[in-house]
Structure 1
Amino acid sequence: MQIIRHMVQADRLLLETTSGRIMLVPYSNKIIRIRYTLEAEFSTQESLMITGLPDSKIPFTVEDRDSHLLFSTTELAIRILKKTGAFTYLDASGAVLTKEPDRRGKTLVPMEVTKSVFDESANIEAGQGADGLRVRADNVRKVIDRKAFHTKLEFEWMEDEALYGLGSHEEGVMNLRGTHQYLYQQNMKAVVPALVSTRGYGIVVDSYSMMTFRDDAFGSYIWTEVDDEMDYYFIHGPEMDSIVHGIRELTGKAPMLPKWTFGYVQSKERYTSQEELIAVVREYRERGLPLDCIVLDWKSWTGELWGQKTLDPERFPDPKAMVEELHRMNARLMVSIWPIMNPQSDNNKEMNENNCLLGNQATYDAFQEKGRQLYWKQANEGLFVHGIDAWWCDCTEPFEADWHGSIKLEPEQRMQINTEEAKLYLDPEFINAYSLLHSKGIYEGQRQTTESKRVVNLTRSAYAGQHRYGTVTWSGDIAANWETLRKQIPAGLNFCATGSPYWTVDIGAFFVQNKPDLWFWNGDYDTGIQDMGYRELYARWFQYGSFLPMFRSHGTDTPREVWRFGEPGEPIYDAIVKFLRLRYELMPYIYSLSAHVHHYDYTFMRALSFDFRHDPNTYNIGDQFMFGPAFLVNPVIEPMYYNSNSDVLEGVKKTRDVYLPVGTAWYDFWTNRIFEGGRMIEAEAPLDRIPLYVKAGSIVPMGGSIQFAEQRTDDNRHIRVYTGQYGTFDYYEDEGDNYNYEKGAYALIPMVWDEENRTFIIKEREGSYPGMRQNQSFNLTFLGVRDGDGSLKEAEKKTQIYYTGNYIEIMVKDL
């Protein structure tokens, strides 16, 4: 690919080459869009993931040098070899961020795109899979629809860099270097085609077909199966938060979720009646155990009418009264809905009458606006009108085809069988986008219906841009064993690194027992909660889950309510309740972080390199993470007390190794003991505790003992200040569950710890909202003191202040 000529236009650079055309468009000083085509014109197809528009006022220069062109903004430059068209990406100082191979970096291979024709020869059969109704068609005729391209974007990644992203995948890889990954939607895959690098850049690929990422013996590249052209965005940070900000500039802001979303969500497979739902919530309240939401899983419909968006009148005789009673107890209701509908159901028949079904005559066509609007109409009239609070959009990869048999197929076989099944019903260019469009329909439908209730949508699949529709993605139907718990941690960190902020798991795993005839039903605990080994695993999973964006228990085979794991005074029960209460004590901190996610494009479940990018020791750590700016979370991922079958373990240390990143001191949250960073320690980890450390300079607002997230008590707010370095925190409040925050109805209280002057500053309150407390007391706890040699020593000082919204300074000379 040789550059023949270049043309500088007002807002772009066009390159004519011996093998097609390339366009570079600055979207900001830090973001450049690159497109490559073999056609005479670039595609006019509208993006499904990108909502940001280029800033035509961004200045850029193009220098024509002997061997290359240099395209530059004030923050980012691309050097383009004239001989081969290969790109080298540079920061403003000229330092190389990454580069393509000098021989060539971009390849388009023409291919023919086929589509399915569902005529009288097609056979349609319905069956029950492990995760619900599946309706499949066979003997489907294929015809050539158009021509497109395989695309291949190659890189020479640097030896010292780590790569993260691509979504949530069951393999549990942290640093993607030296690995490969197939990107397609599947029960335990949630795809987001974005990469971030510790060298300070990110890449977003605007493609919806099956993709491959490789960094192995076959090369280092991103490959897409079907695209009209190559289309991607290069983002310069250099910090990880700046990269995520750039991703959200392109794909949209994450809206605020309601405050209750950050409380505890109780679910299982499954609650079957109105009485059972109410009884479970009532018991939580009677036991004084915090709870914010209960979930109604599948088969809430009548009989075998799978996917019908109405409740069975025999088991749920008065849905409105049921929801009102749950609300009276300050609990919310989330209901599972499905994109696939039994052909005998009224919902299916209405979809069919409006030509809104895909070729299997059971799954609605989320790519049609008419289909999305009709789906919302059905959900609204059948469920939302009764007052339900949240959606569980299950099975949003509706054409999975390999969840059967005793043997798990090879990765290439799984990729082939699942993508071919999807391509029977969807355009091959868009098989990864179903969940994105499905989520769009739910979000837009609810927002048009009411502004008083924020959209919450728990989905099993994801894609770039889906976060703007109020979604939380969970990791799929995983199995109960320690290896799975370990792998979930890096899976979630990589998902959140893509700019998608809300991710969670089934605490305790979905499948608990082992069924040899089904490869995926491979838990280690056939007697469920009767097995002390499972109780220990569940307690450790629960502790980890209390530091996830959504805190939710779910699964089959065994009950999940807290009291099923013992009674007060028993170690496992007490360990679970301790972290349940801690989650609620941290609610002011957590809800403030959720506001940071919306207002500042923040990420609160953070790979260590987000905050310690210049500490290479953090790059491959996949079992520790930051929860916001303050907490270093270190889940326990090995048994210490029991194996399965309640076998008692002897002589096992109750500790785990923890790496404390360099550049700061760390406080043990439980003891306030102080450790210097840059070293590995052996941390105490008894059953009722995971190693939890707080970074020096952290300001942590906390609440008292509450039973639900929005409970307002007369208790003072507690502010912990972990001294040792300068720190800030914006404490946020609003009404909790409407969209008035978009109109400015919220309050921020900026807080600063000035380490040099040993002064804590609470600045003037910014903004207001209906129902806001004008005045409140703060209980302040200052931890740590500078010793004579300048080192940080343990100490504690408490005081109380009365805050009226005005500026306050508190000098803490001695503790």
Structure 2
Amino acid sequence: MYQVLQTTPAVVLKNEQFLLRLSPITEQTVRITMTPKDEFLPARETKNRTPVVVCQTSFSDYTVHSTEQTLTLSLPACSIQVDLTSGQCSYFDATGALLVKEPKANGKYMEKVSVYRNVFSKEDKLIQKETVDGMKVVTEPAETVFDRTAYHAKVSFVFGNEAIYGFGSHEEGYGNLRGKSRQIYQQNMKACVPCMMSTNGYGFLFDCGSLMTFEDNGYGSYVWMDTVDELDYYFFAGTSYQKLLHAYRTLTGAVPMLPKWAFGYGQSKERYHCADELIDIVKEYRARKIPLSFIIQDWMTWEEGKWGQKSFDATRYPDPKGLTDILHDMGAAMMISVWPNMNGMGENQKEFLANGYMLGNQSTYNAFSADARAMYWKQANEGIFQYGVDAWWCDCSEPFEADWHGELRPEPHERLQINVGEAKKYLDDAQISEYSLCHSRGIYEGQRSVTDDKRVVNLTRSSFAGQGRYSAITWSGDTSANWETLKRQIPEGLNFCAAGEPYWSMDIGGFFTDCQNEWFVKGDYPDGCNDLGYRELYTRWLQYGTFLPMMRSHGTNTPREIWRFGEPGTMFYDAIAKFIRLRMMLMPYLYSQAAAVSMKSDTFITALGLAFPNDPQTFDIRDQFLFGPSLMVCPVTAPMYYESGSVPLADVPKQRSVYLPAGCGWYDFFTGIYYAGGQTILADAPIDKIPLFIKAGAIVPMGPAEQYPGEEEDAVITLHIYPGSDCSFSLYDDAGDSYRYEQGEYTVTPLFFSNETNTLTIGKRQGSFPKMKQSQQYRIVLNGRETTVTVENGEECCITL
């Protein structure tokens, strides 16, 4: 039986086994902590700790009501009822409707576990391994010692008629996680975020950096945590998905704006070998009038033999500043790959070793240390950033993955043991999933410390809750080029963003096109872009990638530039060019959504179940999603023209089935044809088109297909209006880079369409920034009719259409 010890500033309960605390954080969020000890852990604020939750607020406007059997904590947006006999928690919305509950018995439990720490010595034997995933160094500890007693922990649930999403992106291709299991640890192709959200209007964030599992099957419905010092998690409720995202970002931190160029098209491959090659690629895109916003330099820019050195090999990159100046003059930004591990005794590694900032393998830097992060940034700044490089690609940010070898893919439980065991060798059991969070922090804080003129962009292969506040974009790892992988990428990206982190991407075309003896190299196209089957797969992959937060082509085995897939006038080249241009045309929509992500806790891609929770038919749709507020994307995930080996396919319909969610009407983006919601249709999908639909009652702003953002000073903005209800849009703009938007240097132009009067109001522009346009021409399109208006000095303008 639980006894009530206190009700303010938090509710604290105690029984013979546990202390249980409910701490109101905001009007919609409650922190839940439990410990078998006599007191809770004190606040862990040290210079080295990188917290997941940065919110320091508490909420006092709550009430507590007790009976002999229950205690109820009520906030404006939710309430939690605790059964005093069992400790069972039941969670309710603001109206008193049950959202979810724990089972009556053992809803939460903690079990002692001993944590051991490995002691390493400089005399340990270091084994260097050249792997597909780069150069690795491993060693065995000199000694293993007892560190402390911690706990396994488990929180169980009784779910209702709902869908569950979240926990990051993985490999299985799960959408709705009901009836599924998920192993939550970091690894190449596993990017973990320990948060889940429900179509019932609630979410849970688990402040746990250890191995976790999610189960919803015959064993029960629960989240299990391998190592915690106390059970610590957050419940939040909201009447919309955006309110759930707001609750998550309130806890983990706001997401900064990325520069405008980051929303264009980026070209990469494994790898460009010198400065001249980078320049030539951009020149060719410009000559062909194909938009290109940034070029990406993959690994080994360092001097041969000095793995992970953060500097340029002078023989291949003799003038780094000259290189970035040339690229910038052509309107292209440059991203470069950096690694957390070093060997070969380059100057960077020697400096880390001399200061004791390496982990036990003497190769991977200790990102958990503030001093080590500062040194990493110092080296990156001196060797790379000072020359004008624009963005970081923090590869291998889960540095102790260890199963990428052998012909046979290990079984899931074996992979877990291999990878988790290797991470635990060097990291605390309770922190094995947090390396990437700390690494990203060092890059962000380092760059912010030297300039506010260039926004941080950091592409990482791993993720964790709160990493978005460090301007991190996570990609899905080294995938293989086949149709099944493409199909699985879609729901995994949606689950990543459903965990609260907004920026997710993947290698357009799949990383490996070849098929080799290693279990992870399983592409279907050994001839790469010479295979018409791969050209079709790549084209469909790129069409999907057009509607992700970052659009980036990358991979090995075969080049990925557009001219590798044909020439103008051929089907694949023209389809690729069409969608790259479409991406640039969507820039006003994209950049305004980026502002909504940063300023309103919004996101880019949304599972249909979360966007339309009142339509259960959307819950298990894995291959359609909402992009921004209005555009529904339906990628093509099966071949229609060619099999591998350029073998033609016969009699394959050039269509795919599409479900149009109920609750609104839908317009075909390409034809303008209107469809009622709540029905399934066959939509045309030839190679130059994937089904795209716009919600009725929407404004979609678009611009020209510029070669790079800002190319045309007097670019016309086209406002596409899709009637059906009154609608609005906040059109955002700023200088495109720098952090001066944080001081208010940006503009918002409110747009409103009255469905009854067919009147568009372009509201008075709010705010300002240096060199903003004083005159803006708008082209307005409604039901096939067009009109043009020029607005001077941001004044209000009304147009009846």
Normalising by the smaller structure, the TM-score range is over 0.9
Structure 2: 5+ residue stretches without partners: none
1:479-521, Cα deviation, whole Å (9 max, x unpaired): 0000000000001011111111111010000000000x20000
Report the counterpart of residue 809 of structure 1 in structure 2: 798
Contact 1:640/1:649 (CA < 8 Å) preserved in 2?
Answer: yes
Contact 1:778/1:803 (CA < 8 Å) preserved in 2?
Answer: no
1:800 to 786, 789, 794: 789
Query: How far apart are 1:705 and its partner, in Å?
Result: 2.8
Whole-Å separation in 2 of the counterparts to 1:669 and 1:4: 60
Query: How far apart are 1:48 and its partner, in Å?
Result: 3.3
How do 1:293-332 and structure 2 match up within 5 A? 293-332=294-333
Distance 1:602 1:120, change over 3 A: closer
Report the counterpart of residue 361 of structure 1 in structure 2: 362
Structure 1: 5+ residue stretches without partners: 784-794
Q: Does 1:745 align with 2:734?
A: no
Contact 1:308/1:347 (CA < 8 Å) preserved in 2?
Answer: yes
Query: How far apart are 1:8 and its partner, in Å?
Result: 1.3
Report the counterpart of residue 560 of structure 1 in structure 2: 560
Contact 1:4/1:18 (CA < 8 Å) preserved in 2?
Answer: no
Report the counterpart of residue 788 of structure 1 in structure 2: none
Counterpart of 1:7, as a letter, is Q
The 3-state SS of whatever aligns with 1:39 is coil
How do 1:619-698 and structure 2 match up within 5 A? 619-698=619-698
Report the counterpart of residue 225 of structure 1 in structure 2: 226
Q: Does 1:239 align with 2:240?
A: yes
Contact 2:163/2:609 (CA < 8 Å) preserved in 1?
Answer: no
Query: How far apart are 1:67 and its partner, in Å?
Result: 1.6
The 3-state SS of whatever aligns with 1:169 is coil
Whole-Å separation in 2 of the counterparts to 1:599 and 1:99: 32
Counterpart of 1:541, as a letter, is W
What's the TM-score, normalizing by structure 2?
A: 0.98
Counterpart of 1:86, as a letter, is Q
Counterpart of 1:454, as a letter, is R
Whole-Å separation in 1 of the counterparts to 2:658 and 2:254: 34
Whole-Å separation in 2 of the counterparts to 1:122 and 1:71: 55
Counterpart of 1:101, as a letter, is P
Contact 2:606/2:627 (CA < 8 Å) preserved in 1?
Answer: yes
The 3-state SS of whatever aligns with 1:33 is strand
Counterpart of 1:185, as a letter, is Q
Q: Does 1:704 align with 2:704?
A: yes
Contact 1:121/1:139 (CA < 8 Å) preserved in 2?
Answer: no
Whole-Å separation in 2 of the counterparts to 1:113 and 1:370: 26
Report the counterpart of residue 115 of structure 1 in structure 2: 117
Contact 1:123/1:139 (CA < 8 Å) preserved in 2?
Answer: no
Report the counterpart of residue 79 of structure 2 in structure 1: 77
Counterpart of 2:259, as a letter, is P
Counterpart of 2:38, as a letter, is A
Report the counterpart of residue 178 of structure 1 in structure 2: 179
Whole-Å separation in 2 of the counterparts to 1:495 and 1:796: 40
Aligned residues: 797
Whole-Å separation in 2 of the counterparts to 1:361 and 1:800: 64
Report the counterpart of residue 90 of structure 1 in structure 2: 92
Report the counterpart of residue 135 of structure 2 in structure 1: 133
RMSD of Structure 2 on Structure 1 (CA): 1.2
Q: Does 1:53 align with 2:84?
A: no
Counterpart of 1:124, as a letter, is L
Q: Does 1:23 align with 2:21?
A: yes
Query: How far apart are 1:707 and its partner, in Å?
Result: 0.4
Whole-Å separation in 1 of the counterparts to 2:193 and 2:412: 19
How do 1:547-586 and structure 2 match up within 5 A? 547-586=547-586
Report the counterpart of residue 519 of structure 1 in structure 2: 519
The 3-state SS of whatever aligns with 2:139 is strand
Whole-Å separation in 2 of the counterparts to 1:402 and 1:585: 42
Contact 2:487/2:637 (CA < 8 Å) preserved in 1?
Answer: yes
How do 1:491-510 and structure 2 match up within 5 A? 491-510=492-511
Whole-Å separation in 1 of the counterparts to 2:192 and 2:35: 25
Query: How far apart are 1:54 and its partner, in Å?
Result: 5.0
Report the counterpart of residue 786 of structure 1 in structure 2: none
Contact 2:775/2:790 (CA < 8 Å) preserved in 1?
Answer: no
Counterpart of 2:645, as a letter, is N
The 3-state SS of whatever aligns with 1:672 is coil
Whole-Å separation in 1 of the counterparts to 2:767 and 2:583: 27
The 3-state SS of whatever aligns with 1:599 is helix
Contact 1:191/1:461 (CA < 8 Å) preserved in 2?
Answer: yes
Counterpart of 1:807, as a letter, is E
Counterpart of 2:145, as a letter, is V
**Greater mean deviation of Cα atoms: 444-453 or 797-806:** 797-806
Report the counterpart of residue 34 of structure 1 in structure 2: 32
Contact 1:25/1:54 (CA < 8 Å) preserved in 2?
Answer: no
Contact 2:112/2:150 (CA < 8 Å) preserved in 1?
Answer: yes
Contact 2:508/2:538 (CA < 8 Å) preserved in 1?
Answer: yes
Report the counterpart of residue 198 of structure 1 in structure 2: 199
What's the TM-score, normalizing by structure 1?
A: 0.97
Counterpart of 1:654, as a letter, is K
Q: Does 1:150 align with 2:149?
A: no
Distance 1:373 1:55, change over 3 A: closer
Contact 1:200/1:237 (CA < 8 Å) preserved in 2?
Answer: yes
The 3-state SS of whatever aligns with 1:645 is coil
Report the counterpart of residue 105 of structure 1 in structure 2: 107
Distance 1:49 1:635, change over 3 A: farther
1:312-347, Cα deviation, whole Å (9 max, x unpaired): 110111111111111111111111000000141111
Contact 2:268/2:295 (CA < 8 Å) preserved in 1?
Answer: yes
1:222-248, Cα deviation, whole Å (9 max, x unpaired): 111111100000000121111011000
Report the counterpart of residue 453 of structure 1 in structure 2: 454
Whole-Å separation in 2 of the counterparts to 1:439 and 1:337: 12
Distance 1:750 1:461, change over 3 A: same
1:361-392, Cα deviation, whole Å (9 max, x unpaired): 00000000000000000000000011100000
Counterpart of 1:24, as a letter, is L
1:66-116, Cα deviation, whole Å (9 max, x unpaired): 321111112211111111011000112211000000113110001110000
Contact 1:343/1:349 (CA < 8 Å) preserved in 2?
Answer: no
How do 1:378-457 and structure 2 match up within 5 A? 378-457=379-458
1:14 to 8, 12, 15: 12
Report the counterpart of residue 787 of structure 1 in structure 2: none
Query: How far apart are 1:120 and its partner, in Å?
Result: 6.8
Whole-Å separation in 2 of the counterparts to 1:284 and 1:54: 48
Counterpart of 2:604, as a letter, is F
Query: How far apart are 1:412 and its partner, in Å?
Result: 0.6
1:434-456, Cα deviation, whole Å (9 max, x unpaired): 00000000000000010000000
Query: How far apart are 1:60 and its partner, in Å?
Result: 1.2
Report the counterpart of residue 770 of structure 1 in structure 2: 770
Q: Does 1:65 align with 2:67?
A: yes
Query: How far apart are 1:531 and its partner, in Å?
Result: 0.5
Contact 2:777/2:788 (CA < 8 Å) preserved in 1?
Answer: no
Counterpart of 1:811, as a letter, is T
Report the counterpart of residue 490 of structure 1 in structure 2: 491
**Greater mean deviation of Cα atoms: 185-194 or 702-711:** 702-711
Contact 2:305/2:344 (CA < 8 Å) preserved in 1?
Answer: no
Query: How far apart are 1:801 and its partner, in Å?
Result: 4.1
Counterpart of 1:646, as a letter, is S
The 3-state SS of whatever aligns with 2:645 is helix
Report the counterpart of residue 736 of structure 2 in structure 1: 736
The 3-state SS of whatever aligns with 1:192 is coil
Contact 2:700/2:719 (CA < 8 Å) preserved in 1?
Answer: yes
Query: How far apart are 1:613 and its partner, in Å?
Result: 1.2
The 3-state SS of whatever aligns with 2:341 is coil
Whole-Å separation in 2 of the counterparts to 1:415 and 1:121: 30
1:102-157, Cα deviation, whole Å (9 max, x unpaired): 11311000111000011377432111111101100125431110111011011111
